[in-house]
Structure 1
Amino acid sequence: MSNKPAVSGGWSDLYKKEDWWAVWLGLGLVIAALLLWLSGSSISSISVSIPKWSEFGSVTSFLGANFGSLVLMFIAFAVVFSIAVKILGHQLSEFIPGFILIFIASVLVSIFGAWEWASKYNLEAPLVALALGLIIGNIVKMPKWMEASLRTEFYVKVGIVLLGATLPFTKIVQAGPVAFTQATIIAVSTFLTIYFAGSRLFGLDKRFAATLGAGGSICGVSASIAIGGAVKADKQHVSVAISLVVVWAIIMIYALPVFISVFGIPAGPAGAWIGTSEFADAAGMAAAAAIGDQAITTFTLMKVVGRDMFVGIWCFILAIVSITMWEKREDGTKPQTSEIWFRFPKFVLGFFVASALITMVIAGSDAPTSQSITDNIIKPITTLRTWAFIFCFLAIGLTTRFKELTSVGWRPFAAFTTGVLINVPLGYIFSILVLGGYWVAVAVK
């Protein structure tokens, strides 16, 4: 069988490729939110966020009062995903039953994650979803019909497009050139460390090393999937990168707040340090929340704005590098440069378009209008994005086998850990020693 890449289908790619469907679905939800807001309504009716609770009676009361909205949210997700899945060639008779199970499990996970006891131990919903998926997936063999609903990459791609809508370009201005420079220096340093350690010290395939580097330096799971696709990394290698991101993310949830507390680091610089040294958004938010609201503010500006925005740029750069330097076909020739466009993750374009749309709406708005946009567009989309990531993490767990991960040996762990040993101290130096005053000022604005 030939390993030559498939020729692009031209215009048909717009409805035959998963990447494009992530764009259409993500942007469709954003546009729907905008139109509803302009008409005086909101997408909030299909955007349900489980509130924090300490007594189970309060969560049952909430579910009873919002059951209709929860059903509407399920229907909205099921309909839009089903349209894409059907056109992509999967059986709805398999996808729908599987997605029902995933949605129910995600609701249960969200309820658990909103429990004050779980919050105390930083057990955020996406991480709980991953843990639950891993336990079930490694004990029970998934039936064949479940495969259609375990669309790991599809869920995260839709989530990334929605992420763009929650990151208008105005936030980059708010973060400032100093913060953006810090994020750039640390992200590039960490990526290069992991890449060169992996490819040269530990002899890993360059595409595998690049996927590890992206997961450790940009936006964790999302970057591992996006970059892995851009450089045509082996699927198993992407799974290993995701697993290492999650392992170190969990370690940092507990290690960073303890260190910050022991040394009395102010909340602003602490949040910025977490933003440069955490490896997943959900885990980083949990760690920042343990410090306080000011830490959440600076964490968001550094991690979500300063680092997550890099995913599109890195996808483009590494697709070029992979095609022009790393890959050869069976006949010894290089892939054509036009393949850069075919391979570039199109959902990243959706990310930027979504960000541009919200930016244009916010630009020039007065304070009450801007607050209305936040309450009726950005917050509901953020909730839908969180649900998409929960679906993704649950699917990752259900499709990950520990035996497969251990088969690659210790070298990926060693390469990733080398990056951690550079990333964490460098983040401390910039966030506390060099720019501590800047982050204190930003946190209290």
Structure 2
Amino acid sequence: MTMKKSLHEDWIAVIIAFLTIALVCSGLKPALPKFGAWNTGGGLWAQLSSPDLLRQTGILFLWALGSLLLARLLAKDIQPVKLAVSLLGIVLITLVAQLITSNKVIKDFGIEVVLFSLLLGLFINNVLGVPAWLKPAIQTELFIKIGLILLGANVLFQDIINAGGLGILQSVVVVFTVWYFSFWICKKLGLDDEFRMMISSAVSICGVSAAIATSGAIEGDNRKLSHVISLVLIVAIPMMLIMPYIAIWAGMSPAVAGAWLGGTIDTSGAVVAAGTLLGEEALKYATLVKFSQNVLLGLAAFLISVYWTVTKKEVSADKKPGLKTIWERFPKFVLGFVLASLLFSFVLPRDVVTAAKGSLKELQTYWFALAFTCIGLETKFTDIFKMENGRPAMAFIIAQLFNIFFTLVVAYLVFGRLAG
């Protein structure tokens, strides 16, 4: 039985995330499963037979189980044995996705683990069927919200400044323009407000994370979210392969080419892979611009939350929402994201921040991966590939094409003087 959505769940996510941050900052850093790149059966078996894998899997399971048990305890709905068995199954599915992602060929494409988590969940749900024992720990929204708050710990205000004024300038211009165009084209194609918000944020800001944050802020449909995530990851692959060669053919400077890649490709892994094809300097500008867009995520989630709360929530016909109503309906995990960013930017000592960020990033990645395993376990293939008669895919592709051409113009205007 899935935990009911409620404001209380937001506070539970905040509590779990900040307890996690406190434990990691105090020195308790879980040794989570890690897979190196492999491309042969021997390399795969060497990783599966590693004596550390069982121990690391156990640590991940216990860490997630402790969080989930705390969530159920706070929600006054706890069934520890059923929850543990179900969570173990979800963790093992997610680890298989992580192992697939570590394949050298797939890794070179920059494909993220969330895609294979989703695909494995979809396969089980649509081909094999989800057994009853696997259902109690399917807590998609809770997992997403915890991961997003932990993401805030890796978005530092000092890094925004260090990223440079040019990267921030391009990012602000591109994000707001592309977001508005995407929203407009989605409206023209008759998509509902949830799809318009998620697609616009995914295309304009930072792909997967932006779609997740937006869906959480508006309490969006998980089937729509999985559809948008699939579009992001599928479209990123041909962009990553083709755009570097277009940059070479057009004789772009490393600064312009890198800024173009970083401003258009929607996943960080694909940005790094594409930038690497053009050399170290292009990679530097690609990551600078991509990071500058990533740091706008918190502001975007906050503004979207306010807009959605004020304009879209159910209210009586004769009463507009006041400040109290807005506060009651505002997604508290967004505040957790901002607070985590402020804490790591201005409060904690620099050595503590440096020591904790890596572990928190790993935990964030696994929370997202667990969430997308759950989404797959709750979603039918027909809901993804036949949704809205293909209109979301059409809207996404049109918006991405606009993003490619508009960002190229802005990259030339902003970075053109840094030729060579």
Query: Normalising by the residue count of structure 1, what TM-score does the alignment of the two structures yield?
Result: 0.80
The answer to whether the 8 Å contact 1:312/1:349 transfers is no
Aligned positions of 1:248-397 closer than 5 A: 248-260=235-247, 262-263=249-250, 265=252, 269-288=256-275, 297-303=284-290, 305-326=291-312, 329=315, 331=317, 333-360=319-346, 369=351, 374=354, 376-397=355-376
- Among 104, 119, 141, the alignment partner of 2:92 is 104
**CA separation of 1:283/1:131 partners in 2, compared to 1, >3 Å: closer, same or farther?**
farther
Kindly provide the CA deviation profile for residues 82-130 of structure 1, in whole angstroms up to 9, marking residues without a partner as x: 2213433364343322221121122222222222233234444333223
Aligned positions of 1:20-419 closer than 5 A: 20-36=11-27, 43=29, 45-55=30-40, 57=42, 60-61=45-46, 63-65=50-52, 67-88=54-75, 89=77, 91-199=79-187, 201-260=188-247, 262-263=249-250, 265=252, 269-288=256-275, 297-303=284-290, 305-326=291-312, 329=315, 331=317, 333-360=319-346, 369=351, 374=354, 376-405=355-384, 406-419=386-399
Structure 1 residue 420: Cα displacement: 0.9
Kindly provide the CA deviation profile for residues 388-420 of structure 1, in whole angstroms up to 9, marking residues without a partner as x: 222223223332223223242233233222321
Take 1:97 and 1:285, find their aligned partners in 2: how far apart are those partners?
Answer: 38
Take 2:392 and 2:346, find their aligned partners in 1: how far apart are those partners?
Answer: 43
Kindly provide the CA deviation profile for residues 39-83 of structure 1, in whole angstroms up to 9, marking residues without a partner as x: xxx61x523432223455556555324542342232122212222
TM-align CA RMSD: 3.2
Take 1:293 and 1:53, find their aligned partners in 2: how far apart are those partners?
Answer: 25
Take 1:228 and 1:373, find their aligned partners in 2: how far apart are those partners?
Answer: 28
Query: Structure 1 stretch 223-232 or stretch 156-165: which is displaced more?
Result: 223-232
Query: Structure 1 stretch 377-386 or stretch 51-60: which is displaced more?
Result: 51-60
**CA separation of 1:339/1:416 partners in 2, compared to 1, >3 Å: closer, same or farther?**
farther
**CA separation of 1:229/1:127 partners in 2, compared to 1, >3 Å: closer, same or farther?**
closer
The answer to whether the 8 Å contact 2:217/2:305 transfers is yes
**CA separation of 1:207/1:80 partners in 2, compared to 1, >3 Å: closer, same or farther?**
closer
Take 1:76 and 1:328, find their aligned partners in 2: how far apart are those partners?
Answer: 37
Q: Per the alignment, in what secondary structure is the counterpart of residue 404 of structure 1? A: helix
Structure 1 residue 331: Cα displacement: 4.4
**CA separation of 1:245/1:335 partners in 2, compared to 1, >3 Å: closer, same or farther?**
farther
Take 2:91 and 2:114, find their aligned partners in 1: how far apart are those partners?
Answer: 13
Kindly provide the CA deviation profile for residues 187-216 of structure 1, in whole angstroms up to 9, marking residues without a partner as x: 1111111111222x2233334322321222
Same amino acid, percent of matched pairs: 27
Amino acid in structure 2 at the alignment position of 1:173: I
Take 1:95 and 1:270, find their aligned partners in 2: how far apart are those partners?
Answer: 49
Match of 1:423 in 2: 403
Kindly provide the CA deviation profile for residues 351-406 of structure 1, in whole angstroms up to 9, marking residues without a partner as x: 2222233323676x5xxx5xx853x3222222222222222232233322232232
**CA separation of 1:295/1:34 partners in 2, compared to 1, >3 Å: closer, same or farther?**
farther
Amino acid in structure 2 at the alignment position of 1:425: F
Query: Structure 1 stretch 120-129 or stretch 150-159: which is displaced more?
Result: 120-129
Moved over 6 A (4+): none
**CA separation of 1:285/1:78 partners in 2, compared to 1, >3 Å: closer, same or farther?**
farther
Kindly provide the CA deviation profile for residues 233-274 of structure 1, in whole angstroms up to 9, marking residues without a partner as x: 455444443343333334434333443455565655444333
Take 1:111 and 1:291, find their aligned partners in 2: how far apart are those partners?
Answer: 28
